[in-house]
Chains A and B, each alone.
Chain A
């Protein structure tokens, strides 16, 4: 797979291809598998993603610690917010839904990781539902998301333990922004700007889950990460460009991750996890898990 989005975008533009087509062709050569087989695997991933959205929307999934759960249903039913009855609000609820399912040991697609698994399905299925886009369009978008994620994995990191939350929900926001921009007709160049616009907004974001569990703030970071992706898509499709090339934005994310103190990399040693309340909740809830309640 490509290790530079700038290069992939150049190739796609010069060959008059979409990034998804380029991604599928490259994967097919890399892995010696027919494109149809790769699309089939992505289609299966889409089925699981949709299942997680639906399961989480019901609101009866409660996590091991009891710290998260039921908020997707709450958001979906709310009436007085400024985003009521919009695609934007639906996307936020879908992100909470998938991440609540994840925290409750339901089945999800780690895309790119379990901790950031809500963003891509929320943005892609939410927009596709609102616009009546076909599943094949979403499958294409997933291929583009995979290409973006592969570049981030290669140049920076996709692991909270290595690079903080910017490498998990941040990378997921970049993947979702680029993928949806293509799905809505944006050019490969516009996709690049969408990724840069999303990723710049999460630079420096630490990974600070209470008790080290993929629950709090992870569930909410998936909703806010989706909001960042939606803002990036809106800007990129309007023709707004970001002056720093996307590869450089990704590189600086990797650099910040490497410099980040270990307390802020999934160890529960800093950030929200280390606040007085964060520590108390983690202590109480871990006791609860041990009791098996």
Chain B
């Protein structure tokens, strides 16, 4: 359903809702994977992102997102300089991610301390985005909800346990998706929730012995 506020909005730094605002939102979501500003970022631009990205400030918008700037933050204009000052070393590269990939696709790989994570995101127009892959696991995250991602050993009852923790914290689950690469292999869980999960929820999920790692990707509404 089309919302009136989708039409009169978003408020954003120009010039392009897909190449600038959407790119920034993908950067913001990627930031959540390493829980803050990364030390190193490898950004691979595909399709139209690669062809016209520079003129649209796609690189600045992604760097801005990685620094925690929202799509309407004017600091995006100088985000590449700010990144250097804040110790974020970045490399932008043009590539073909897949022949049938969406025209505006980017793969972002981030390193912070001992952590290294990557995601593939698509910018769909009007600032809307879709994250289709995190660390090699196929996912579907649109950034319109707060999202918890976690990798867990494939143990029975894991979903019930996590759902219970969220219910105890009075957090409503909007969607839950579980994927795994092989039977008995690690499971990748993507949980979109209505309320922002606090530190205590994260800590109690992390305390579960079968959870390898978990992160909260903040809502990046347009």
Chain A residues at the B interface, C-beta cutoff of 8 Å: 1, 23-24, 27, 30-31, 38, 41-42, 44-45, 48, 63-65, 101-115, 117, 120, 142-143, 145-147, 149-150, 153-154, 158-159, 161, 175, 211-215, 268, 285-286, 289-290
Contacts and interface: CB of A to CB of B under 8 A. Distances in A.
A65 B55 contact: yes
B52 A211 contact: yes
B15 A1 contact: no
B160 interface: no
B7 A27 contact: no
A contact face: mostly helix, strand, loop, or mixed: helix
A68 to B, nearest CB: 10
Contact of A113 (B1, B3, B76, B126): B126
Given A1-B1, A110-B17, A146-B4, A286 B54 contact: yes
Contacts of B5: 27, 31, 38, 41-42, 146
Contact of A114 (B2, B3, B16): B16
Given A42-B5, A111-B7, A158-B126, 5 more contacts: A38-B4, A41-B5, A107-B12, A146-B8, A268-B52
How many chain B residues sit at the interface, stated as a range, is 20 to 34
B14 interface: yes
A172 B5 CA distance: 15
Nearest to A68: B15
B29 interface: no
Contacts of B15: 63-64, 102-105, 114-115, 213-215
A272 B7 CA distance: 28
B56 A214 contact: yes
Contacts of B16: 114-115, 214
B135 interface: no
Interface of B: 1-17, 20-21, 48, 51-52, 54-57, 60, 72, 74, 76-77, 125-127
B21 to A, nearest CB: 7
18 contacts: A1-B2, A1-B4, A63-B15, A64-B54, A104-B15, A107-B12, A110-B126, A110-B127, A111-B7, A114-B16, A114-B20, A115-B16, A150-B2, A161-B125, A211-B55, A212-B51, A214-B14, A286-B55
Contact of A109 (B3, B10, B51, B74): B10
